[in-house]
Amino acid sequence: MVTRYTFLSSDFNGVDITGCGQVRIGDNFHSGNECHIMTSIHSYNDGEAIPYDSTSLHKKVEAGDDVWLGNRVIVLGGVCIGGGSIIQVGSVVVSNIPVYSIVGGHPARVFS
């Protein structure tokens, strides 16, 4: 499936993709239920209103081939998940994940 900003090369279930940033998902991607990929956030540094205004920042998300997301994983914009990685249930991915990693937590950290 391909839209203007979303490139999916696998079938998957349970992922809600929001925002205007680009999303690229590799082959053999698998997700649990209730996962979220969020590519846009409010501008909180340069906005005209505090704590934020109507300006949004859009960031790309990439997941390599053979990535597996457990149930209720949240992936924030600006993140690249390396191929072969497994993201533990309930994790919040806020930074890049190296290839063939097993990560978990909030924020998600590599533990294997």
CATH number at residue 56: 2.160.10.10
At 7-44, the pLDDT tens digits run 666 656 678 888 889 999 999 999 999 999 999 987 77
Residue 75, in any domain of the structure: yes
User: Which residue type sits at 2?
Assistant: V
Q: Per residue in 70-81, pLDDT tens?
A: 999 999 999 999
Rounded CA-CA distance 65/102 in Å is 14
User: CB-based contacts of 58: which residues, under 8 Å, 6+ apart?
Assistant: 19, 20, 21, 39, 40, 77
| Residues spanned by the domain of 53 | 6-110
d(CA 63, CA 80): 6
Site of tokens 């079938």: 11
34 or 55, greater pLDDT? 34
Give how many domains the chain has, as a whole number: 1
